[in-house]
């Protein structure tokens, strides 16, 4: 018997061991989850039913198909008409209990808008634009307003924009101050719709914001509006709202401080008109200051060689006229962390565009430079070059040399070859680069026909390879014109046209307070693919300017 057992286990031992091994693997393996839940909670039951008439109760219960929570309920949830005493919202299991605290008006349609407040517990999927409607009378208001929202500059639809309605009598009291009772959010196609509206006069706005408070109260927010009120007597469709960033009427300074290097930094909430700066005290510092202003004229750096002061007063000017004074204070012996570095107009691939100079840009103004302490090697041979300052900024030097194809260039700055405004010497550094192949570039001729030679048009060539469209070149025209774009890097491009109504050579934004819309923009839908070492010609007919929506 013993031998029989031994033979039995001997025959099946490999199989038993294999089963144990598989069992061990099964124990160690983590359980695999199912597909991720992408669905928002769905309403299963409403008590009383949605769209109930002759409503007389104080409590409403909404039951969903999964567990949920309320996010930012005081920002997201509104009831119209507005009530002095807000309803109380309580989540119990999968049910939302609503207790009305205020007296309801007779024969009135009420709309509770939940915005994006209702989200599932696990994945945070939002129930968007969910409303519950009831009436204290025998009928329910049923008028609608619908339309879409676009971006003025990009001419693309804007999803997740907040669209707001204000009763005309309440517009000036509430807009920009309080959250509206009537609001909705645009869908993925930029469309919006208000339902269950009563016949009335309304103001409509759209807002693209970060805070989500549904109040136009930040200079960085995009806003849209319809200048004329909507006199709602029947369903209204086709409302187009164009978002723009307004130039603030009131000047503010979002930033005003010493930067880490010790420069005085001022940023403004709007572009300044030909800004300039003067140091009022200590007066002697004014002659040795260096002022750097960015291209959009809303950021100013003031550098002082002499940092031996504890208080400094600046005067700010627009178009030669003083408009404000600012005071900066610091410890007289305060120290700063500085690292003098250089940047170049060299591509990430280490090449420079054919036909261009080498631009050397310091992260701080360059006080002095010693060309004899710099060398430029062409392969293994040292070559002579010209070096000059850029007259538009003290941060930049221009190196002029006729760079050759296929040559390797090494530019060396020896210790102290450059000194910044604070007296810090540049540490020894090298930059290796080469001339890009001219065959990577092409020429594009745009023959542009204008619809009206009495008007002005701003033509912008944009890169179209990425979501971020960068402006390659801008030109203003007033008649049929052929624009030649030389040395264009192979890629995809697009044309944008601004209808320059006031002929000032730039696109002008709108103003809510002045009830002016932004200037019209036409984005040519055609994408032009430019191949390397190619010459192309295109004809573009600018369409007539559409009327600006009132």
Backbone torsions φ then ψ of 73, nearest 5 degrees: -65, -30
Instruction: Look at residues 46, 37, 55 and name the one whose alpha carbon lies nearest to residue 94.
Output: 46
User: Is residue 29 very low, low, confident or very high in pLDDT (cuts 50, 70, 90)?
Assistant: very low
What pLDDT, on the 0 to 100 scale, is given for residue 507? Answer: 96
70-96 residues labelled b (16+ CB within 10 A) or e (exposed): beeeebbbbbbebbeeebebebeebeb
If you average pLDDT over residues 248-255, what whole number do you get?
A: 92
Q: How far apart are CA 286 and CA 280, in angstroms?
A: 7
Is a pLDDT exceeding 60 seen at residue 34?
no
What pLDDT, on the 0 to 100 scale, is given for residue 5? Answer: 42
Q: How far apart are CA 237 and CA 144, in angstroms?
A: 8
What pLDDT, on the 0 to 100 scale, is given for residue 364? Answer: 96
- Asked if residues 32 and 77 have their Cβ atoms less than 8 Å apart, the reply is no
What pLDDT, on the 0 to 100 scale, is given for residue 547? Answer: 83
Strand partners, 444: 485, 536
Is a pLDDT exceeding 90 seen at residue 22?
no
User: Is residue 466 very low, low, confident or very high in pLDDT (cuts 50, 70, 90)?
Assistant: low
Is a pLDDT exceeding 90 seen at residue 390?
yes
CB-count exposure of residue 417 (10 Å: 0-12, 13-18, 19+): buried
Is a pLDDT exceeding 70 seen at residue 259?
yes
104-118, 253-267, 272-286, 465-479: the lowest-pLDDT one: 465-479
User: Is residue 129 very low, low, confident or very high in pLDDT (cuts 50, 70, 90)?
Assistant: confident
428-449 residues labelled b (16+ CB within 10 A) or e (exposed): eeebebbbbeeebbbebebebe
Is a pLDDT exceeding 90 seen at residue 219?
no
What pLDDT, on the 0 to 100 scale, is given for residue 23? Answer: 43
Q: Compute the mean pLDDT over every residue in the chain, rounded to the nearest whole number.
A: 91
End-to-end CA distance of the chain: 104
Query: Which residues 6+ apart lie within 8 Å of 16 measured at CB?
Result: 9
Strand partners, 325: 315
Is a pLDDT exceeding 70 seen at residue 325?
yes
Report strand pairing: 396-400 vs 342-344: unpaired
Strand partners, 133: 111
Q: How far apart are CA 50 and CA 96, in angstroms?
A: 14
What pLDDT, on the 0 to 100 scale, is given for residue 176? Answer: 84
What pLDDT, on the 0 to 100 scale, is given for residue 191? Answer: 94
Half-sphere CA count of 499, side-chain side, radius 13 A: 22
SS3 392: coil
If you average pLDDT over residues 30-43, what whole number do you get?
A: 71
What pLDDT, on the 0 to 100 scale, is given for residue 35? Answer: 62
């Amino acid at each position: 018997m013993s031998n029989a057992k031994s033979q039995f286990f001997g025959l099946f031992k490999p199989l038993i061991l294999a089963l144990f091994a598989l069992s061990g693997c099964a124990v160690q393996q983590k359980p695999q989850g199912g597909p991720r839940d992408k669905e928002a909670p769905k309403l299963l039951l409403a008590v009383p039913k949605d769209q109930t008439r002759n409503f007389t109760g104080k409590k409403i219960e909404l039951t969903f198909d999964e567990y949920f929570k309320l996010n930012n309920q005081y920002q997201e949830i509104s009831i119209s008409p507005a009530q002095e005493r807000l309803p109380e919202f309580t989540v119990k299991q999968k049910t939302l209990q609503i207790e009305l605290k205020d007296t309801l008006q007779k024969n009135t349609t009420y709309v509770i808008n939940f915005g994006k407040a209702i989200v599932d517990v696990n994945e945070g999927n939002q129930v968007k634009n969910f409303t519950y409607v009831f009436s204290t009378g025998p009928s329910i208001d049923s008028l609608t307003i619908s339309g879409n929202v676009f971006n003025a500059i990009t001419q693309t639809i804007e999803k997740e924009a907040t669209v707001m309605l204000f009763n005309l009598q309440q517009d000036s009291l509430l807009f920009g101050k309080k959250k509206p009772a009537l609001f909705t959010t645009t869908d993925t196609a930029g469309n919006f719709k208000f339902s269950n509206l009563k016949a009335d006069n309304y103001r409509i706005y759209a807002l693209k914001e970060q805070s989500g408070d549904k109040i136009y109260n930040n200079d960085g927010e995009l806003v849209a509006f319809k200048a004329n009120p909507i006199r709602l007597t029947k369903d209204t469709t086709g409302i187009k709202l164009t978002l723009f960033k307004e130039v603030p009427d009131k000047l503010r300074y979002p930033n005003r401080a010493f930067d880490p290097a010790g420069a005085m930094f001022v940023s403004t909430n709007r572009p300044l008109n030909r800004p300039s700066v003067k140091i009022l005290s200590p007066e002697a510092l004014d002659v040795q200051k260096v002022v750097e202003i960015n291209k959009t004229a809303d950021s100013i750096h003031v550098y002082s060689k002499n940092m031996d002061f504890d208080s400094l007063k600046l005067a700010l000017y627009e178009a030669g006229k003083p408009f404000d004074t600012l005071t900066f204070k610091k410890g007289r012996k305060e120290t700063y962390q500085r690292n003098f570095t250089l940047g170049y107009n060299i591509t990430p691939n280490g090449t420079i565009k054919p036909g261009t100079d080498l631009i050397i840009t310091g992260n701080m103004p360059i006080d002095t430079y010693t060309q004899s302490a710099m060398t430029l090697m062409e392969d293994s041979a040292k070559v002579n070059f010209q070096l000059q300052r850029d007259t538009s900024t003290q941060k930049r030097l221009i190196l002029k040399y006729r760079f050759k194809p296929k040559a390797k260039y090494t530019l060396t700055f020896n210790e102290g070859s450059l000194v910044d405004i604070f007296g810090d010497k540049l540490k020894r550094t090298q930059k290796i680069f080469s001339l890009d192949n001219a065959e990577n570039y092409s020429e594009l001729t745009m023959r542009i026909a204008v619809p009206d030679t009495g008007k002005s048009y701003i033509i912008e060539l944009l890169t179209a390879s990425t979501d971020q469209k960068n402006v390659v070149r801008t030109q203003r025209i007033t008649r049929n014109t052929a624009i030649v774009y030389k040395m264009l890097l192979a890629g995809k491009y697009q044309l944008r046209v601004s209808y320059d109504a006031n002929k000032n050579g730039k696109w002008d934004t709108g103003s809510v307070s002045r009830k002016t819309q932004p200037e019209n923009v036409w984005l040519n839908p055609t994408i032009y693919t430019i191949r390397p070492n190619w010459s192309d010609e295109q004809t573009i007919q600018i369409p007539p300017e559409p009327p600006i929506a009132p």
